[in-house]
Amino acid sequence: MKVLVAAPLHEKALEVLKNAGFEIVYEEYPDEDRLLELVRDADAIIVRSKPKVTRKVIEAAPKLKVIGRAGVGLDNIDLEAAKERGIKVVNSPGASSRSVAELAVGLMFAVARKIAFADRKMREGVWAKKQCMGIELEGKTIGVIGFGRIGYEVAKIANALGMKVLLYDPKPNEERAKEVGGKFVSLEELLKESDVVTLHVPLLDATYHLINEERLKLMKKTAILINAARGAVVDTEALVKALQEGWIYGAGLDVFEEEPLPADHPLTKLDNVVLTPHIGASTEEAQMRAGVQVAEQIVEILKG
């Protein structure tokens, strides 16, 4: 059986496929024309956030039985076309939860203690000790919006840091909340009471611009906003205004409405925001887990 690996995959994941006796064809991010050639005799294909597995690609692969996405989202796979052909689609949703959570907490510290700003000033030859007055996180209130896998991990770390944990989720799980010392409240109460607000929701119609001008104005002037979920959960224009005019203390962002973020974007001109290039899942451990989980599911499906 032939497995087409069309994106970088951890060695351990490739080992899982080899040990199952599959033939592996490896080509990193082929364009659509090349992909159409490669899938002709493939039994399985593995991708990351790219390449796109379109209807055209699926129709060009008569032997295809399973599509694997090493990672979380399935936005680059035509699920309808796969379903029509009875092709299974698998992914690894839990693989990067801890990594994203640790980045969110890292951003909290970076904003609270002005770490990126201080580093920038040092490189400019400026000893900016006075400008780098920060705040502690212990004893502060964190508001976690979206209490799934990642929200849970963030709350667990925040609880260990001695923070008070408020939670908002349309489907509250009280048992899980108890484990992290968390309390479910309304979105409005969470925004008004929290010193740090961190977002861990998927991008849906209901979460598009969930954090808009009106909701930013509910937040404390001393509050920090963290977004390591999806860019469009926050109205960027409103956030820029909030940061410029001091409605909130600062923000830590790993995701943006437009990615890559344009070099001249207003966010890049502000000192009270820390920016990272969508690296939430970019750890050795998350990449290894994502690959291995998908490889194991593919082995199971192809070996029946």
Q: Residues 119, 124, 127, 131: is their CA dihedral positive or negative?
A: negative
Any long-range contacts for 268-272 (C-beta under 8 Å, 24+ apart)?
270/240, 270/243, 270/244, 271/117, 272/111, 272/243
The residue to which tokens 């969930």 are assigned? 210
Say if residue 172 is preceded by a cis peptide, omega within 30 of 0: no
CA 19 remoteness from chain centre: 31
What is the distance between the alpha carbons of residues 141 and 128, in angstroms, rounded to a whole number? Answer: 28
Q: Show the tokens assigned to 116.
A: 């990126």
Closest CA to 200 of 258, 276, 254, 240: 254
Radius of gyration of the chain from its Cα atoms, rounded to whole angstroms: 22
The residues annotated with a catalytic role in the active site are 230, 259, 278
